[in-house]
Amino acid sequence: MNAPTCPQETETSATKASPDGVTIYYDGSCPLCTAEIDYYKRADTEQKLYLIDVSSERFEGDEQLSRAEAMARFHIRMSDGRQVSGARAFVEVWRALPSWRWLARLSRIPGVVQIQEMAYRGFLHLRPLVVRSYTRFTRKAQRSNAR
């Protein structure tokens, strides 16, 4: 039995927040980001995630989030309209996913989110290298499987 998929992806407006969940703004042109989003889709058994591909030509942005900002850093919008980015955004996504709520609870420990944010900022500097390595790895794996 397959897990339910996320509600339909919306690409035309950044202003529409999920009525009872988390709206995720992700870079659909990034293979690593797309793999992560695919994982979230499978883990989203309660259908709390709404996805917006900010790399799409149809993504318009709004007064809270421009395309450049959305492409540079992970952002989410809460159901109440608040926007969160970086480590705090990941914590909110984990809180929405039943199999990851334990990690969101660990983030309540004082200082943990700050450490996660430092690690995320470090990752952002390495992201181009990580994406290139990931792309090479997946291509090799696909060629091996095709044989």
CA 137 to chain centre: 21
Would 91 be classed as within a structural domain?
A: yes
Strands (E), 60-140: 75-78, 83-85
Answer whether residue 60 is part of any domain. Answer: yes
* pTM reported for the whole predicted model: 0.80
Residue 33 within any structural domain of the chain: yes
Answer whether residue 128 is part of any domain. Answer: yes
Note whether residue 102 is domain-resident.
yes
- From first to last of its 147 residues, the chain has per-residue pLDDT tens of 333 344 545 444 444 555 678 999 999 999 889 999 999 999 999 999 999 999 999 998 888 999 999 999 999 999 999 999 999 999 999 999 999 999 999 999 999 999 999 999 999 999 888 878 888 888 877 777 877
User: What are the distances in angstroms from CA 30 to CA 49, 90, 96?
Assistant: 19, 17, 23
- pLDDT at residue 69 in the model: 94
Would you say residue 34 lies in a domain?
yes
What span, in angstroms and rounded, lies between the C-alpha atoms of 50 and 76? Answer: 10
Indicate whether 16 belongs to any domain.
no
SS3 string, 15-46, reads CCCCCCCEEEEECCCCHHHHHHHHHHHHHCCC
* Count of structural domains within the chain: 1
Question: Which residue segment(s) compose the domain that 94 sits in?
Answer: 22-146
Residue 7 maps to a domain: no
